[in-house]
Amino acid sequence: MRVALVGDHYYPDVDGAPHYAFELSLQLAKLGTETVVITHKHRGQPEEEEIAAVKIKPLKGLALNSQHSARTSR
């Protein structure tokens, strides 16, 4: 089975949502699921990473700063 997790909040962001998404992706990979995470790209982050069999594909795009967002701007 293949799973794609898509969202703004993922490694290297910190807080509850990124931590939850990171742990979820690791557990899915442990179960043998081909797991890919698609998220926004941080400055200096490689085009693609792999952590514990989880492929991370950061994409360039516009990340809006919001007063309701727990993420800090980079």
Please provide the DSSP assignment of 1-58 as one string: -EEEEE-S--TT--SHHHHHHHHHHHHHHHTT-EEEEEEEPPTT--S-EEETTEEEEE
pLDDT over 90 at 52, yes or no? yes
pLDDT digits (tens, 9 = 90+) for 6-44: 988 787 777 888 889 999 999 999 999 999 999 888 888
How many domains is the chain built from?
1
Question: Has residue 71 been placed in a domain?
Answer: no
| Band of residue 69 on the pLDDT scale cut at 50, 70, 90 | low
Residue 74: pLDDT band (50, 70, 90) is: very low
Residue 22 covered by a domain? yes
**Which bin fits 17, alpha (ψ -120 to 50), beta or left (φ > 0)?**
alpha
The answer to whether residue 57 scores a pLDDT higher than 90 is: yes
Q: What is the rounded distance in angstroms from the CA atom of residue 25 to the CA atom of residue 29?
A: 6
Domain that holds residue 44: 7-59
Residue range 50-58: mean pLDDT, rounded: 93
* Residue 17 forms part of a structural domain: yes
